[in-house]
Structure 1
């Protein structure tokens, strides 16, 4: 009985967190865990709540980046995981984020049915716009029956960095 109570308590907490994230999204605000704790905790929370099991790999040498960059990374990962479950019927996904040479590199891949196309819906096109708005690039690889890989490269500016316009490697 104690195990059931613990499970129900955990589920209630996760549902409350998801509802709070949805409310923040509807107001154009970043999710609370992202705003308060940063990218790594936010991605861990996202992976825990995903409908698809997620292998999460985080290689960051700093806790915080500029808010628009963190928000873009979070929403690319969130949309990609939602698509993996909802459209690709994936059984697994992997989220990898690395900080290298002044860039954040995010890759979200799944083992789903593939065939994703940014021109067939506003979700992926919106992600590309969000990433480009902070000076990044987004690539989608999604052959039919071969899963999907979404890669984003974004400038890894810290909150105190001056705004720089550069091109990803």
Structure 2
């Protein structure tokens, strides 16, 4: 279970509250985290004070600070985490067989991290677990910064197209 500390900036990933004006991507500041009820009290930037009930399906993640990225940053199009340590390089590219940890798709989904933080649409190349908490579709840069690697329980590379060993419907007799 992730513990949120007072003062940490968070972003709303999902809430099941039908009456709130908050939408995914909303940003706020943690006021307190009641670990017994797993409820996080948040002062949202739009003035809302809606608490997140994490055991009831609400989801938040540590916020990224787009302003922390400058032209001097090596990869300026990828946001920097707030109070988040650098990823362990050993987790980013574990050895996997070429056929393992891949999923063939007909269309690449957008990077969830870019979409949540800046409403930017960048094609994702990975689907995986993140250091931010939830699984996400991630572009290459976000996967390097936030992904937990490839393999079972970690993630998979998304490849546009049809799996080579499937052939066509005519080849398989499934006309």
Q: TM-score, normalised by structure 1?
A: 0.24
TM-score by length of 2: 0.23
Higher helix share: 1
Bigger radius of gyration among the two: 2
- Higher relative CO (Cα under 8 Å, sequence separation at least 6) belongs to 1
Which structure dedicates a bigger proportion of its chain to strand?
2
